């Protein structure tokens, strides 16, 4: 099999890249280890920056996002018994949309298949070859048959545990990583929304977050031990913890309902640099991970492939490799800004077991400064909506 661009991974990064290339007349093949049903049913949260919304709209895949996504013009911070609203739109002229990642995947899969794009689901034994040459290839097994794709470029969009990043020799890359001493207990619950906007809560017992996914579904999180297990938490215990961390002195109450998903996720920051070796390029979670506090994961994937799609278009239409040569530097500039913001939000809102009394008071003072100072509120808002 021969194609111009071989893409490994059918997440938001791989699918959007394939679609952007298609719009520019560049042929690609996407390989995915899971089935279509599995990737479309894996429920994951999603907050889209204004720029990400614009990219999806410009690519013709934003209709359902506009119709079903929740457009938010502000966020709230709860601490010290009070809630404080930061008006994102008033401060930046931009907004965010809460639209889950799996819904973006559903939209992109439909668009690629409608355009005749090739997505090979349930592939296995994927191996990259000759990525330092002008003719790289990808070997894999599909429907029990060993196959190989020859391409001009291979793009690794296969996540943190995929095969693409390890294909870059450790002598050519540097990995930056921080693992946090806590995780998030995530819950999906059938109930009416408790809030029209996201609520980020800082509490002595730990962080908590309220996010509305639809008029009938809430997504809730609270800080926990990453080694804990969901079986240790009864519904009553979960509700008691959420009520204790989120409710305040103004009479606001968290709506309860039936839980239909529970899970614990670890928290880490990770960056691989550079994001290229020869004709192999990395995008999305294959190259970087951010803690979800800053709501940057899917946005960084979209930003990566927007840069990479333009660079590939310049290569095929103009014969220029400048964009490809500059891809890693351009992408990493955006990535490190998002890593900083996500780290800052995580540090400011979570409870650290080893924090001294002095550090806890400084943490509270920082939150109070953020909500009281227009300059600091603007800086937060600009980073949150991606106004750079």
Whether 296 is catalytic: yes
Is the bond preceding residue 313 a cis peptide, omega within 30 degrees? no
Whether 291 is catalytic: no
Beta bridge pairs of residue 307: none
What letter would DSSP give residue 28?
A: E
Catalytic entry in 19, 22, 72, 350:
72
What letter would DSSP give residue 190?
A: E
d(CA 310, CA 17): 10
Whether 94 is catalytic: no
Whether 221 is catalytic: no
3 state SS for 291-344 = CHHHCCHHHHHHHHHHHHHHHHHHHHHHCCCHHHHHHHHHHHHHHHHHHHHHHH
Catalytic entry in 99, 180, 200, 327:
200
Among 275, 338, 272, which Cα is nearest to 308's?
275
Q: Name the CA radius of gyration of the chain, rounded.
A: 21
Who contacts 179 (Cβ-Cβ below 8 Å, separation ≥6)?
Answer: 266, 267, 268
Catalytic entry in 291, 292, 327, 350:
292
Give the largest Cα separation in the chain, rounded: 65
Interstrand relation of 280-282 and 276-277 (parallel, antiparallel or unpaired): antiparallel
Catalytic entry in 19, 203, 288, 296:
296
CB 240 within 8 A of CB 208: no
What is the three-class DSSP state of 383? helix
Among 140, 142, 138, 168, which Cα is nearest to 154's?
138
Whether 72 is catalytic: yes
Interstrand relation of 258-273 and 276-277 (parallel, antiparallel or unpaired): unpaired
d(CA 61, CA 16): 9
Task: Give the pair of three-digit tokens for residue 17.
Answer: 């890249």
CB 6 within 8 A of CB 153: yes
Distance of CA 94 to the CA centre of its chain: 19
Beta bridge pairs of residue 97: 48, 71
Residues with active-site annotation: 72, 200, 292, 296, 384
């Amino acid at each position: 099999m021969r194609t111009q661009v071989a893409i490994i991974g059918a997440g938001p990064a791989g699918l959007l890249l394939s679609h952007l290339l298609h719009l520019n007349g560049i042929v690609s093949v996407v390989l995915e280890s899971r089935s279509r049903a599995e990737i479309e049913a894996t429920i994951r949260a999603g907050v889209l920056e204004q720029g990400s919304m614009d990219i999806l709209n410009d690519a013709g895949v934003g209709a359902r996002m506009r119709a079903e996504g929740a457009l938010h013009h502000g966020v709230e911070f709860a601490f010290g018994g009070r809630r404080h609203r930061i008006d994102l739109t008033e401060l930046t002229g931009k907004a965010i949309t809460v639209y889950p990642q799996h819904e973006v995947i559903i939209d992109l899969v439909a668009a690629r298949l409608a355009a005749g794009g090739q997505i090979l689901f349930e592939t296995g034994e994927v191996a990259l070859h000759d990525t330092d040459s002008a003719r790289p290839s990808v070997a894999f097994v599909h429907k029990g048959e060993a196959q190989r794709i020859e391409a001009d470029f291979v793009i690794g969009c296969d996540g943190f545990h995929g095969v693409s990043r390890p294909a870059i020799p450790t002598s050519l890359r540097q990995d930056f990583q921080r693992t946090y001493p806590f995780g998030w207990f995530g819950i999906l619950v059938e109930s009416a929304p408790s809030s029209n906007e996201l609520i980020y809560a800082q509490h002595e017992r730990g962080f908590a977050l309220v996010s509305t996914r639809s008029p009938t579904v809430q997504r809730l999180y609270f800080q926990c031990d990453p080694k804990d297990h969901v079986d240790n938490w009864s519904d009553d215990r979960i509700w008691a913890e959420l009520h204790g961390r989120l409710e305040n002195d103004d009479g606001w109450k968290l709506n309860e309902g039936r839980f239909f998903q529970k899970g614990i996720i670890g928290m880490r920051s990770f960056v691989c640099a550079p994001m290229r070796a020869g004709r192999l390029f990395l995008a999305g979670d294959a190259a970087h991970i951010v803690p979800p506090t800053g709501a940057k994961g899917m946005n960084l994937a979209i930003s990566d492939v927007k840069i990479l799609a333009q660079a590939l278009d310049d290569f095929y239409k103009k014969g220029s490799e400048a964009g490809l040569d500059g891809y890693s530097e351009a992408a990493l500039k955006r990535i490190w800004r998002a890593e900083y913001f996500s780290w800052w939000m995580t540090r400011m809102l979570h409870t650290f077991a080893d924090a001294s009394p002095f550090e806890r008071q400084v943490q509270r003072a920082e939150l109070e400064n953020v909500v009281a100072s227009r300059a600091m509120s603007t800086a937060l808002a600009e980073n949150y909506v991606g106004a750079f």
